[in-house]
Structure 1
Amino acid sequence: MNEPRCVSNSSGPHIQAWITEMAAYVKSLDTNHLVGVGIEGFYGTGIAERLGFNPGAWAASLCSDFIQNSAVEHIDFASVHAYPDSWLPDASLEEKIRYLSSWVDSHLNDSENILRKPVLFSEVGYLRHVDPNSNSTADGDILLRVVYDKIYDSARKLQAGGGALVWQLMVEGTHMYHDNFSLVARDHPLTYKLIKEQSCRLQMLHKKEGDPGWQCSAPP
């Protein structure tokens, strides 16, 4: 389920039970694919010292819990979302960078040291902040680079960092499906370059001699 939530704190155990049941059921049908939850990564009230990483008190009231939900036996990898513009709408860019840096570090550390599972930042979204001087999504690219650099550093050390997916990439002619986070990558050359470079440097970490498939066209 994408971003499972509930407005009643009493339903936390029900969400956990549902994840446990459904993950086992999916694995009983298909053992060849990885299973994740799709949670945003908010911390619940069970570990008080983690609550400070949430974007606000509201996040702990939605009945999901990153550590507990991700620790389920048949969940193969942890998932996290990151929407600093939506979660901290009144914050400055500098404040969002500090928050996002802490958010990513916390989930990388918990995935490595507690869950012992890889973590995928399965949605990283930022609003279309256009720099009038350069006609680029400059602010958003800074936020994306924060996530990319931390994921790469973790992967380079053979730790839990698995990757990050931009929400959401579109292609020409699909504008009817867009939201305020959408972009056609080729219309934003700096963002497109950033995505390609991250793909290349992650590929180079795991590339084996003679591997077929896509080849990097940008330096790592």
Structure 2
Amino acid sequence: MKKVIALAASLLMMGVVPVASAAAPDFVAVKKTQFTRNGHPYYIAGANFWYGAYLGANDRPRLLKELDTLKAMGINNLRVLAVSEKTDMKSAVRPATTNEPGKYDERLLAGMDFLLAEMGKRDMTAVIYLNNFWQWSGGMTQYLNWFAGTPALDPNVTKDYETYMRETARFYTNEKAQAEYRNVIRTFINRKNTVTGKPYAGDPVIMSWQLANEPRPGNASSTPQEKEIYVKWIADTAAYIRGLDKNHLVSTGSEGLAGSAHDAALFEKAHASKDVDYLTYHLWPKNWGWIDSKRVDATWSGALEKSSHYLNVHIDYAKKMGKPIVLEEFGMDRDGASFDIKSSTKVRDRFYKVVFDVVVGRAEKGDPVAGFNFWAWGGAGRAANADYWWKEGNDLMGDPPQEEQGLYSVFDTDKSTIALIRQYADRLHALERK
């Protein structure tokens, strides 16, 4: 022990500050089926805030306001986009972080620095996803445009999601695309925060590196070989991240069964790697055709039954695998399928309560569900156009450019939804004190 202390003192005198190890108490860690932090249980009461680094670069006063509002709601975790890729697709955010392979917009990277620094002041943690299966940030289809020479597919234009998913899954086997993707991973993990001076790899504000937003093996007709490729890509990429950074957790960003060709064995295999620390899943009853927003009374019961089953069965998978699970996306639109911020949110609040009762209720029983991130925080953002579609220069909000602005966003004026989130966040935080 004396030798260790002497070595540490010597390093400090030389100006060398060792990066914290995975055992450092202020990093979020996994102990059996639970997250821990600072020696206590840690539960996620979180929001999706994909555009956080954009605000850090372009509108810091708004970012500070959003973070203060979220903190007051009991939110302790934000799921954010690391990087976007420049593309010709109309339904993608712009400007992009990556203007071409290997060339990054330092201003946007500094926006992430500022975001993480301010989150640290508020004792929040971040889940940072490093790619996107969907086109709204460029994502995997733009990688294929760069390295395979194929068009970047925009399903908002083609209306053909089956082809989009099948073609986008070619990303996993394109060697040049994978090499550039690993360059991005290495760039982020090795980055030094320009605000705090901390290396990202040694920053406990970061809870988890996430492989991608909603990676899929392909479409609903994925072959056994395509599924094997997908599982191998997850395991290999997770191991690569672990080799660079042993401090932080690694997660997939999977939607669960809906993103696994409804193959339970595939979902389990995708999370079986020792380098994947916890399971993730998402719930989208409207997107999946379970509920009709204009016929709620006629479709609510069926949607409720399917949603409750989906929520519970994934927690059961986590229990079987002995890992925590986070419901990191769920959402519902405003009443009458309206995008207008003045429209009521009675159906959404009703849906949120069902979700919270399952997630928080099972957490209180000791099951391995570690919390939630609702989709998504719109905060002070406001739609600028009569058709509710985003254009460059408009406010960013929870709905990315592939969707109408106001579709699923929770705004800072949605008092009933915010009160509900706070109520259940408080219940999760109470578990941390037990």
Instruction: Please state which band the TM-score falls in when normalised by the shorter chain.
Output: 0.7 to 0.9
Structure 1 residue 153 corresponds to structure 2 residue 361: yes
The question of whether the paired residues in 1 share the 8 Å contact of 2:281 and 2:326 is answered with yes
User: Separation in 2 of the partners of 1:83 and 1:139?
Assistant: 14
Tell me: CA distance 1:168–1:43, structure 2 relative to 1, closer, same or farther (3 Å): closer
Which residue of structure 1 aligns with residue 346 of structure 2? 138
Does 2:409 align with 1:182? yes
**What's the TM-score once normalised by structure 2's chain length?**
0.41
Task: Please give the alpha-carbon distance, in whole angstroms, between the structure 2 residues aligned to 1:172 and 1:89.
Answer: 30
Q: Distance in 2 between matches of 1:89 and 1:96?
A: 5
Spell out the pairing of 1:13-162 with structure 2 (5 A cutoff): 13-42=228-257, 59-60=261-262, 65-89=266-290, 92-112=299-319, 114-129=320-335, 136-162=344-370
Contact 1:130/1:139 (CA < 8 Å) preserved in 2?
A: no
Which one of 371, 375, 392 corresponds to residue 167 of structure 1? 375
Q: Distance in 2 between matches of 1:170 and 1:17?
A: 36
**Structure with the higher strand share, 1 or 2:** 2
CA distance in 2, matches of 1:170, 1:149: 23
> 3-state SS of the aligned residue for 1:165?
strand
Instruction: Tell me, yes or no, if structure 1 residue 2 matches structure 2 residue 204.
Output: no
Shift of 1:183: 2.1
Q: Please state whether the residue corresponding to 1:25 is helix, strand or coil.
A: helix
- CA shift, 1:135, in A, is 5.4
Q: Per the alignment, in what secondary structure is the counterpart of residue 122 of structure 1?
A: strand
**AA in 2 matched with 1:60:** H
Distance 1:90 1:105, change over 3 A: closer
Q: Structure 1 residues 142 and 164, CA, compared in 2 at 3 Å: closer, same or farther?
A: same
Structure 2 vs 1, CA of residues 135 and 171 (structure 1 numbering), >3 Å: closer, same or farther? closer
Q: Counting helix residues as a fraction of each chain, which structure ranks higher?
A: 1
**Is the CA contact (8 Å cut-off) linking 1:168 and 1:182 kept in structure 2?**
yes
TM-score, normalized by length of structure 1? 0.78
**Structure 2: how far apart are the matches of 1:67 and 1:43?**
13
| Residues 89/147 of structure 1: CA separation in 2 closer, same or farther (3 Å cut) | closer
Q: Tell me, what secondary structure is at the counterpart of 2:247?
A: coil
Bigger Rg over Cα: 2
- Give the superposed CA RMSD: 2.6
In structure 2, the residue matched to 1:56 is: none
Look up the equivalent residue of 1:171 and give its one-letter code: G
Q: Quote the residue 2:227 is aligned against.
A: 12
Structure 1 residue 207 displacement after superposition: 1.9
Q: CA deviation at 1:145?
A: 1.4
Gaps of 5+ in 2: 1-211, 293-298, 384-394
Higher relative CO (CA 8 A, sep ≥ 6), structure 1 or 2? 2
Shift of 1:93: 1.4
Change in CA separation of 1:111 and 1:18 when aligned onto 2, cut-off 3 Å: same
Using the alignment, how far apart are the partners of 1:204 and 1:158 within structure 2?
Answer: 13
Amino acid at match of 2:410: L
Match of 2:428 among 198, 202, 205: 202
Report deviation, 1:109: 1.0
**Separation in 2, partners of 1:21, 1:191:** 40
